Amino acid sequence: MTATKRPAPAGPGGRPSSDPDPIRVSFRRYAGVRTRVLEVGDPGPEPELPRRSLRRKSAAAHLRPTAPRLVLLHGYCDSADTWRPALEQLAAAGIPAIAVDLPGFGDAQPLRPGPMLPQLDAFTTAVVREQAVLGSVVLAGNSLGGTMSLRAAQNSRLPISGVVSIAAPGFVDSWLIRTVARYPLPLRLYSSLPVPVPGFLVRKVAEQLVPRLLYADSAAADATQVQRFTALFPDYRATKSRLEQARQLVAELADAYRLDSVQVPLLVVACGKDKLVTAASGRQLHTLVPHSRLLVREDWGHCPQLDDPVEIAELLTYFAASAVRTTQAKRAAATASEAVSEDTAAG
């Protein structure tokens, strides 16, 4: 009998568990918020550089063609870990990318009292400006991350070459999000219970709901990812706090977008099995931004980076390359036009 070597068990994203992890983990500060960063590809800029030096390097970077750098933003009650499987695929392809914990989630410092979106805007702006030092930035966000990517694209002063919005809320939302916004009697009763619900019961419910809400097929849910989500709801108090925060966020989404300001290439991803943000929401966003491209995948759920990280990584890679070419061509044309105008005026 000939012995055969059994392959090492696969880790997240299909990587053999015996292989070294290609993802570098660090902690940085953006807009005054200390957070965790997952990174693949070329190392990021040195945090010690003065802001003025960063601006000069960023401006110089945009005068020459550069490879795209992906900045990945997660959704509500999620963390940068949602992008780990896709980051492994991007690392294998040699694509530089980072994923960050947004303020209030993962290992980031908490949000301050008051409106949430302006705080997240300031944070996202700082991440983009840092990464723009090294190359052309393409933002990709899932759910709340999709919202933040769109809001960043509305700022013409930010050095962004393209945006991928995956299941961004605030357009045609599901019954669940509408329920949170209306704050019906069952939710009010839960929040005002005189006797807290036992923690083990809260966790049990979360373990059942999370796979159904995030994945296209709950049976295919990764246990590690599910555990990461359920850890956000360890007890009644934490769950009540997250519910109140979600209500505030849904209210802010009512006035979150100025889509006529989005001029960079935009790819809208809508997912047919999304139970939180319907595919109709993506179609509506595509209609509101005429130059955008729309991809509808009937077999993806709310977090396609968990359903199909291989295809998501390929999609981001191809779109980023196309978006950077388009944006750089527009900038070159604008520069040439300005030069012709100056020559004409001088003559």
Question: How is 295-333 classified by DSSP, letter by letter?
Answer: EEETT--S-HHHH-HHHHHHHHHHHHHHHHHHHHHHHHH
Sign, CA dihedral 73-79-80-86, equals negative
Helices 175-182 and 236-253: crossing angle in degrees, nearest 10, is: 100
**Residue 119, number of CB atoms within 10 A of its CB:** 18
pTM confidence score: 0.82
Which residues are within 8 A (CB) of 142 and not within 5 positions of it... i.e. 6 or more apart?
Answer: 73, 74, 75, 78, 82, 166, 167, 302, 303, 304, 305
Residue 131 has pLDDT above 70, yes or no: yes
Residue 53 has pLDDT above 80, yes or no: no
Please give the pLDDT value at position 58: 46
The closest of 66, 63, 58, 59 to 41, measured between CA atoms, is 66
Residue 215 has pLDDT above 50, yes or no: yes
Name the more confident of 206 and 95: 95
- pLDDT band of residue 326 (cuts 50, 70, 90) is confident
Q: Beta 160-166 vs 97-100: how paired, if at all?
A: unpaired
Q: Looking at residues 164-170, what average pLDDT do you find?
A: 95
The CA angle 153-157-162, to the nearest 5 degrees, is 35
Q: Beta 97-100 vs 33-40: how paired, if at all?
A: antiparallel
Residue 105 has pLDDT above 70, yes or no: yes
